[in-house]
Structure 1
Amino acid sequence: METWRITGGFTVREKAEKALLGHEFASEGAVDRPSYSSGMAKRWRSLGKAFWALDRVLGGQQRPTRLHQWVARHPVGTGLCTAVPFTLFFWLTAPEGEPDSLLFTVIFGLLMGLVFGLTAVLERLRQRRLKRLGIWDGS
Protein backbone atom coordinates (compact mmCIF):
# COMPACT_ATOMS: atom_id res chain seq x y z
CA MET A 1 0.00 0.00 0.00
CA GLU A 2 2.95 2.31 0.59
CA THR A 3 4.26 3.93 -2.54
CA TRP A 4 7.38 6.01 -2.29
CA ARG A 5 8.75 8.29 -4.93
CA ILE A 6 12.40 7.78 -5.82
CA THR A 7 14.47 10.97 -5.51
CA GLY A 8 18.21 11.06 -6.03
CA GLY A 9 18.73 7.32 -5.57
CA PHE A 10 16.98 7.19 -2.19
CA THR A 11 13.35 6.72 -1.39
CA VAL A 12 11.59 9.40 0.57
CA ARG A 13 11.30 6.99 3.48
CA GLU A 14 15.07 6.35 3.52
CA LYS A 15 15.77 10.08 3.49
CA ALA A 16 13.39 10.60 6.39
CA GLU A 17 14.93 7.75 8.38
CA LYS A 18 18.47 9.04 7.80
CA ALA A 19 17.41 12.56 8.70
CA LEU A 20 15.98 11.25 11.99
CA LEU A 21 19.19 9.37 12.71
CA GLY A 22 21.24 12.51 12.24
CA HIS A 23 22.66 11.81 8.81
CA GLU A 24 22.64 15.01 6.82
CA PHE A 25 21.68 14.87 3.20
CA ALA A 26 23.49 17.16 0.85
CA SER A 27 21.82 17.61 -2.47
CA GLU A 28 23.19 15.09 -4.88
CA GLY A 29 25.61 16.78 -7.24
CA ALA A 30 25.63 20.06 -5.29
CA VAL A 31 28.89 21.68 -4.30
CA ASP A 32 29.23 23.81 -1.15
CA ARG A 33 29.99 27.20 -2.65
CA PRO A 34 28.12 30.43 -3.21
CA SER A 35 25.79 30.57 -6.16
CA TYR A 36 27.78 33.50 -7.58
CA SER A 37 31.46 34.18 -8.14
CA SER A 38 33.73 36.03 -5.73
CA GLY A 39 33.82 38.93 -8.20
CA MET A 40 30.07 39.22 -7.90
CA ALA A 41 30.33 39.14 -4.11
CA LYS A 42 32.81 42.01 -4.26
CA ARG A 43 30.43 43.92 -6.52
CA TRP A 44 27.52 43.44 -4.10
CA ARG A 45 29.74 44.51 -1.20
CA SER A 46 30.85 47.65 -3.03
CA LEU A 47 27.24 48.48 -3.94
CA GLY A 48 26.30 48.11 -0.29
CA LYS A 49 29.14 50.38 0.78
CA ALA A 50 28.10 52.95 -1.83
CA PHE A 51 24.50 52.84 -0.60
CA TRP A 52 25.50 53.41 3.03
CA ALA A 53 27.88 56.21 2.01
CA LEU A 54 25.02 57.93 0.16
CA ASP A 55 22.80 57.34 3.18
CA ARG A 56 25.37 59.06 5.45
CA VAL A 57 25.62 62.04 3.06
CA LEU A 58 21.83 62.41 3.02
CA GLY A 59 21.64 62.35 6.84
CA GLY A 60 20.73 58.72 7.40
CA GLN A 61 22.82 58.52 10.57
CA GLN A 62 21.10 61.39 12.35
CA ARG A 63 18.87 60.73 15.33
CA PRO A 64 15.23 60.26 14.32
CA THR A 65 12.75 62.97 15.23
CA ARG A 66 9.53 62.26 17.15
CA LEU A 67 7.62 62.06 13.88
CA HIS A 68 10.11 59.53 12.50
CA GLN A 69 9.76 57.46 15.66
CA TRP A 70 5.95 57.50 15.45
CA VAL A 71 6.01 56.59 11.76
CA ALA A 72 8.38 53.69 12.41
CA ARG A 73 6.19 52.39 15.24
CA HIS A 74 2.95 52.63 13.23
CA PRO A 75 3.57 51.78 9.54
CA VAL A 76 -0.02 50.63 8.94
CA GLY A 77 -1.43 53.78 10.56
CA THR A 78 0.93 55.87 8.44
CA GLY A 79 -0.28 54.13 5.31
CA LEU A 80 -3.93 54.66 6.22
CA CYS A 81 -3.37 58.28 7.25
CA THR A 82 -1.96 58.98 3.81
CA ALA A 83 -4.26 56.71 1.80
CA VAL A 84 -7.46 58.43 2.92
CA PRO A 85 -6.47 62.00 1.92
CA PHE A 86 -5.01 60.81 -1.39
CA THR A 87 -8.18 58.84 -2.13
CA LEU A 88 -10.32 61.89 -1.40
CA PHE A 89 -8.07 64.06 -3.56
CA PHE A 90 -8.20 61.63 -6.47
CA TRP A 91 -11.98 61.33 -6.06
CA LEU A 92 -12.43 65.12 -6.17
CA THR A 93 -10.27 65.47 -9.29
CA ALA A 94 -11.74 62.47 -11.15
CA PRO A 95 -13.91 63.09 -14.23
CA GLU A 96 -17.59 62.79 -13.43
CA GLY A 97 -18.85 60.91 -16.48
CA GLU A 98 -16.79 57.75 -16.06
CA PRO A 99 -18.31 54.88 -14.06
CA ASP A 100 -14.92 53.36 -13.11
CA SER A 101 -13.52 56.58 -11.65
CA LEU A 102 -14.38 55.59 -8.07
CA LEU A 103 -12.61 52.25 -8.46
CA PHE A 104 -9.48 53.92 -9.86
CA THR A 105 -9.44 56.56 -7.13
CA VAL A 106 -9.65 53.93 -4.39
CA ILE A 107 -6.91 51.85 -6.04
CA PHE A 108 -4.57 54.82 -6.49
CA GLY A 109 -5.25 56.04 -2.96
CA LEU A 110 -4.44 52.61 -1.54
CA LEU A 111 -1.29 52.42 -3.68
CA MET A 112 -0.13 55.75 -2.25
CA GLY A 113 -0.86 54.45 1.24
CA LEU A 114 1.16 51.33 0.44
CA VAL A 115 4.12 53.44 -0.72
CA PHE A 116 4.04 55.49 2.48
CA GLY A 117 3.58 52.36 4.61
CA LEU A 118 6.59 50.69 3.00
CA THR A 119 8.59 53.87 3.54
CA ALA A 120 7.64 53.65 7.22
CA VAL A 121 8.91 50.06 7.33
CA LEU A 122 12.21 51.23 5.81
CA GLU A 123 12.40 53.93 8.49
CA ARG A 124 11.95 51.22 11.11
CA LEU A 125 14.85 49.29 9.60
CA ARG A 126 16.99 52.45 9.58
CA GLN A 127 16.29 52.99 13.27
CA ARG A 128 17.21 49.37 14.03
CA ARG A 129 20.50 49.93 12.23
CA LEU A 130 21.16 53.11 14.24
CA LYS A 131 20.64 51.13 17.45
CA ARG A 132 22.90 48.34 16.25
CA LEU A 133 25.68 50.80 15.37
CA GLY A 134 25.34 52.54 18.74
CA ILE A 135 24.48 55.91 17.21
CA TRP A 136 21.06 56.03 18.87
CA ASP A 137 19.82 54.38 22.05
CA GLY A 138 16.15 54.18 21.06
CA SER A 139 14.86 56.87 23.40
Structure 2
Amino acid sequence: MGLESGIYNITCVGNQMPLAMLAGMVVEMSPLVCMVDQPPAVIKVENIGGDKYRLTPEIAPENRVPGETGELVIGTMATPPPRMLVLAGSEDNGLSERVEWAIDPSGNDTYTIHMSDSDEYWTAAEENGMPIQLGGLKGQETQKWQFSRL
Protein backbone atom coordinates (compact mmCIF):
# COMPACT_ATOMS: atom_id res chain seq x y z
CA MET A 1 0.00 0.00 0.00
CA GLY A 2 1.27 3.49 -0.83
CA LEU A 3 1.84 6.40 1.46
CA GLU A 4 -1.18 8.57 2.32
CA SER A 5 -1.17 12.21 1.30
CA GLY A 6 -0.42 14.47 4.25
CA ILE A 7 2.15 16.61 6.05
CA TYR A 8 5.33 14.81 7.17
CA ASN A 9 8.88 15.02 8.44
CA ILE A 10 11.16 12.66 6.51
CA THR A 11 14.15 10.99 8.20
CA CYS A 12 16.92 8.88 6.68
CA VAL A 13 17.07 5.44 8.32
CA GLY A 14 20.82 5.01 7.73
CA ASN A 15 22.07 8.15 9.45
CA GLN A 16 18.96 8.96 11.56
CA MET A 17 19.05 12.56 10.33
CA PRO A 18 15.97 14.46 9.15
CA LEU A 19 15.55 16.00 5.73
CA ALA A 20 16.30 19.72 6.10
CA MET A 21 16.75 22.94 4.18
CA LEU A 22 19.74 25.12 5.02
CA ALA A 23 18.70 28.26 6.88
CA GLY A 24 18.81 31.34 4.68
CA MET A 25 18.99 29.22 1.52
CA VAL A 26 15.31 28.71 0.74
CA VAL A 27 15.41 29.64 -2.94
CA GLU A 28 15.23 27.73 -6.19
CA MET A 29 18.24 25.42 -6.61
CA SER A 30 18.85 25.23 -2.83
CA PRO A 31 20.07 21.72 -1.96
CA LEU A 32 18.19 19.47 0.43
CA VAL A 33 20.31 17.82 3.09
CA CYS A 34 20.12 15.45 6.03
CA MET A 35 21.10 17.50 9.04
CA VAL A 36 20.71 17.38 12.81
CA ASP A 37 21.37 21.05 13.60
CA GLN A 38 18.59 22.49 11.41
CA PRO A 39 14.85 22.12 12.01
CA PRO A 40 13.39 19.19 10.06
CA ALA A 41 11.73 20.22 6.81
CA VAL A 42 7.93 20.05 6.86
CA ILE A 43 6.91 18.33 3.63
CA LYS A 44 3.47 18.16 2.02
CA VAL A 45 3.21 14.73 0.35
CA GLU A 46 0.52 14.75 -2.33
CA ASN A 47 -0.53 11.66 -4.26
CA ILE A 48 -1.08 12.77 -7.87
CA GLY A 49 -2.19 9.41 -9.22
CA GLY A 50 -1.05 5.82 -8.93
CA ASP A 51 2.32 5.65 -7.22
CA LYS A 52 3.29 9.22 -8.17
CA TYR A 53 3.72 11.96 -5.58
CA ARG A 54 4.54 15.67 -5.50
CA LEU A 55 6.66 16.73 -2.52
CA THR A 56 6.32 20.37 -1.51
CA PRO A 57 8.18 21.91 1.43
CA GLU A 58 6.17 24.22 3.64
CA ILE A 59 8.27 27.40 3.75
CA ALA A 60 7.56 30.04 6.36
CA PRO A 61 7.15 33.52 4.84
CA GLU A 62 10.08 34.84 6.89
CA ASN A 63 12.35 32.24 5.26
CA ARG A 64 11.48 33.27 1.70
CA VAL A 65 13.76 35.55 -0.25
CA PRO A 66 12.07 38.93 -0.87
CA GLY A 67 10.48 39.00 -4.31
CA GLU A 68 10.61 35.21 -4.69
CA THR A 69 7.16 33.97 -5.60
CA GLY A 70 5.68 30.74 -6.81
CA GLU A 71 5.66 27.23 -5.52
CA LEU A 72 8.90 25.40 -4.84
CA VAL A 73 8.84 21.60 -4.95
CA ILE A 74 11.43 18.94 -4.26
CA GLY A 75 13.05 18.31 -7.60
CA THR A 76 16.51 17.62 -8.93
CA MET A 77 19.32 19.33 -10.72
CA ALA A 78 19.06 19.07 -14.50
CA THR A 79 22.69 17.98 -14.79
CA PRO A 80 24.38 14.67 -15.46
CA PRO A 81 24.85 12.23 -12.55
CA PRO A 82 25.32 12.43 -9.70
CA ARG A 83 22.27 14.61 -9.34
CA MET A 84 21.22 16.23 -6.08
CA LEU A 85 17.84 17.02 -4.58
CA VAL A 86 17.10 20.73 -4.86
CA LEU A 87 14.16 23.07 -4.62
CA ALA A 88 12.72 23.39 -8.13
CA GLY A 89 10.60 26.31 -9.27
CA SER A 90 7.38 26.36 -11.22
CA GLU A 91 9.06 27.00 -14.57
CA ASP A 92 11.63 24.93 -16.45
CA ASN A 93 14.80 27.00 -16.48
CA GLY A 94 17.27 24.34 -17.56
CA LEU A 95 18.87 24.25 -14.11
CA SER A 96 16.32 22.31 -12.09
CA GLU A 97 13.57 19.84 -12.91
CA ARG A 98 10.21 19.42 -11.23
CA VAL A 99 9.93 15.74 -10.44
CA GLU A 100 7.14 13.30 -9.75
CA TRP A 101 8.42 10.87 -7.14
CA ALA A 102 7.53 7.22 -6.55
CA ILE A 103 7.45 6.21 -2.87
CA ASP A 104 7.72 2.45 -2.40
CA PRO A 105 7.41 0.46 0.86
CA SER A 106 10.69 -1.20 1.85
CA GLY A 107 9.58 -2.91 5.08
CA ASN A 108 9.33 -1.93 8.76
CA ASP A 109 7.52 1.36 8.04
CA THR A 110 10.32 2.54 5.76
CA TYR A 111 10.22 3.60 2.12
CA THR A 112 12.47 4.16 -0.84
CA ILE A 113 11.95 7.30 -2.92
CA HIS A 114 12.86 7.51 -6.60
CA MET A 115 12.05 9.45 -9.73
CA SER A 116 8.82 7.97 -11.07
CA ASP A 117 10.29 7.59 -14.54
CA SER A 118 13.74 6.22 -13.61
CA ASP A 119 15.69 4.15 -11.11
CA GLU A 120 17.41 7.11 -9.44
CA TYR A 121 16.84 6.82 -5.68
CA TRP A 122 17.30 9.31 -2.85
CA THR A 123 20.65 8.46 -1.29
CA ALA A 124 21.87 10.25 1.84
CA ALA A 125 25.48 10.63 2.91
CA GLU A 126 26.59 9.46 6.35
CA GLU A 127 27.92 12.94 7.15
CA ASN A 128 25.82 15.72 8.66
CA GLY A 129 24.75 18.47 6.25
CA MET A 130 25.70 16.79 2.98
CA PRO A 131 23.32 17.06 -0.01
CA ILE A 132 21.07 14.14 -0.85
CA GLN A 133 22.05 12.61 -4.16
CA LEU A 134 20.23 10.34 -6.58
CA GLY A 135 21.74 6.95 -7.35
CA GLY A 136 20.98 3.38 -8.29
CA LEU A 137 19.25 1.21 -5.69
CA LYS A 138 21.85 -0.67 -3.64
CA GLY A 139 19.70 -1.67 -0.68
CA GLN A 140 21.65 0.62 1.65
CA GLU A 141 20.10 1.99 4.82
CA THR A 142 20.93 5.49 3.52
CA GLN A 143 18.36 4.82 0.77
CA LYS A 144 15.54 4.08 3.23
CA TRP A 145 13.32 6.82 4.65
CA GLN A 146 10.79 7.11 7.48
CA PHE A 147 7.77 9.40 7.19
CA SER A 148 6.47 10.88 10.46
CA ARG A 149 3.00 12.33 10.02
CA LEU A 150 2.48 15.73 11.63
Give TM-score scaled by structure 2 length. Answer: 0.19
Structure with higher Rg: it is 1
Higher relative contact order (CA closer than 8 Å, sequence separation 6+): 2
**Could you say which structure has the higher helix fraction?**
1
**Could you say which structure has the higher strand fraction?**
2
Give TM-score scaled by structure 1 length. Answer: 0.20
